[in-house]
Amino acid sequence: MNSVARAWCCAVALSLLVPAIAGAQDRRNPFAELFGRLPEPQGGDETTLDFRTTTGVQWAQILQKDDATGDGDVPEGLAGGADAQLALNHVGGWLQTTAYARTAYQEYRREPAFGAPAYEAGGRVSMRATRRLSIDAGGHYARSPFFQLLEPSPFVFGEVTASGDPFIAYLIDNDSIQGSAGIIADYTKRSSLSLSGTWRETHFSLSPNDNFSARGFRGQWRRRMSRDLGVHVAYARDEVRQRRLGDSRFMNELFDIGIDYATALPIARRTRFSFATETSALREDKGKRHFRLNGTAELAQGFKRTWRASLGAFRATDFLPGFAAPVFSDTLHAGISGYLSKRFIFYGNLNGMESRIGFDDRDTYRTYSGDTRLTFAMSRHIGLFGQYVYYHYQLPPMVDSVVRLPRLSRQAYSIGIQTWVPLVNKGKGDS
């Protein structure tokens, strides 16, 4: 047995054995934290350190695949994997910190069989220097053997590790690193000024011409007019480079006079509507500016105590690793989640996106996806889950992208065991 196989077996054993000796505090729903739903803050200082694992098998099937170049590779068939994540959260009087580290391994049983390790780590610190002045900074690093065109839908009940990497678009090693820092001044009870800087890079070891980097800053003034309504004025500037473009670069400027609105609607109890707007101006080198109005709108409805349904529309301008031009996207999302009983939790998501890549290309880039997951709590620390994922994407002809597959439809079935172990749970008044 090689070292990778031994490591995978150890992770499986750890995911089963460690919860058997862990303690837990009583909650209104004793299984909530296993599902990833964190308890309500109790106030005062609090420190938690959680260990989560996911172990399971996945069977993936490619339903449609256009491979014009012959070098596109997406794994299918049977795979087994294990995932471990350590997360730290601390809330104090003047300091809040979060940190996490994650490692995962997938073994694909095809000819020839191969292993796919992944690593991820990150954190954020927020410090209140004075009563009206706050400082925050954060960073994130990820190494993955896969490139994804779609991001998994968020879990409504918290951060629970998904099984494997179901939204694979292309088998290629990539490393991503990003950082940010900012300062916020609440100079009155209703008004604030903020300034922040960001930096991110993505490197493709087998395709260095697709390496991506972006640096920028954002300044914003915000005024809260009422509990539900706010206005803001912002200016942001990002410089984006990709090695494929040589010395050329894109400048993304944000001239933003917008509205932030979130309120409970009178049409039904537990119904909320929110929206926000912004305007971006893009140009390549010293070319002419291209203006675009972006924004979000979302309607959320709670029902039957624990259930939540949402419908949202999102219009965005993004610079994405793997693409040599800006992506102008319009997205619709629908989701539902809730408890079938104290031991069963269900969620489902549907997503559809239509995008245009570059200023002049009128061809569209389309993606569709759907995923469902059902988890059963065997105990407070161990759960069984089943998951189904389907996605489809279609890139425009001759698009300048790291992805070598113009079209792909894929589905994946997963079953497995997830665990949650509270290593530290210390609140105000604990000894």
For the chain, 431 residues long, give each residue's pLDDT as a single digit of tens. 443 343 334 433 333 343 433 333 334 678 888 887 655 555 568 888 999 998 999 888 888 887 655 556 777 888 888 889 899 989 887 899 999 999 988 888 777 778 888 899 999 999 988 888 999 999 999 998 888 776 655 544 444 445 456 677 677 889 999 999 999 999 888 899 999 999 999 998 888 888 889 899 999 999 988 877 888 888 888 888 876 655 567 777 777 777 777 776 666 678 888 888 777 777 776 677 788 888 888 888 888 888 889 999 999 888 888 777 788 889 999 999 889 998 999 989 999 999 888 777 667 888 899 989 999 999 999 999 999 999 998 888 777 777 777 888 989 899 999 999 999 888 744 54
Asked whether the beta carbons of 366 and 357 are under 8 A apart, the reply is no
DSSP 324: S
Omega into 41 within 30° of 0, i.e. cis?
no
Residue 250 identity? F
The helix or strand, by DSSP H or E, that contains position 49, with its residue range, turns out to be strand 46-66
- What pLDDT is stored for residue 123 in this prediction? 95
Q: Which residues contact 318 (CB under 8 A, 6 or more apart)?
A: 326, 327, 329
Tracing tokens 């070598």 back to the chain, one arrives at: 404
Tracing tokens 């995932």 back to the chain, one arrives at: 83
CATH code of the domain in which 291 resides: 2.40.160
Q: Which residues contact 360 (CB under 8 A, 6 or more apart)?
A: none
As given in the structure block, the two tokens for residue 420 are: 């949650």
Task: Report d(CA 58, CA 64) in Å as an integer.
Answer: 19
Task: Report d(CA 316, CA 327) in Å as an integer.
Answer: 8
Residue 175 has φ and ψ, to the nearest 5°, of: -120, 135
Domain with 330, as residue range(s), is 3-427
- What pLDDT is stored for residue 291 in this prediction? 82
Asked whether the beta carbons of 231 and 259 are under 8 A apart, the reply is yes
Residue of 314, 383, 309 whose CA lies nearest to 349:
309
Residue 209 has φ and ψ, to the nearest 5°, of: -65, -15
Task: Report d(CA 222, CA 132) in Å as an integer.
Answer: 14
Task: Report d(CA 140, CA 157) in Å as an integer.
Answer: 22
- What pLDDT is stored for residue 243 in this prediction? 67
Q: What are the angstrom distances between the C-alpha of 387 and each of 56, 58, 122, 141, 174?
A: 11, 9, 26, 27, 26
Please report, to the nearest 10 degrees, the dihedral formed by the alpha carbons of residues 50, 56, 61, 62 taken in order.
30
* SS3 label, residue 291: strand
Residue 280 identity? S
The helix or strand, by DSSP H or E, that contains position 392, with its residue range, turns out to be strand 382-394
Q: Which residues contact 306 (CB under 8 A, 6 or more apart)?
A: 338, 339
Sign of the Cα torsion 11, 9, 74, 241 reads positive
Query: Other C-beta atoms within 10 Å of 13: how many?
Result: 12
Q: Looking at the DSSP assignment, which residues form a beta bridge with residue 36?
A: none
- What pLDDT is stored for residue 121 in this prediction? 94
Task: Report d(CA 74, CA 201) in Å as an integer.
Answer: 24
- What pLDDT is stored for residue 245 in this prediction? 58
* SS3 label, residue 239: strand
- What pLDDT is stored for residue 6 in this prediction? 39
Q: Which residues contact 155 (CB under 8 A, 6 or more apart)?
A: 36, 337, 347
- Look at the chain and report how many structural domains it folds into: 1
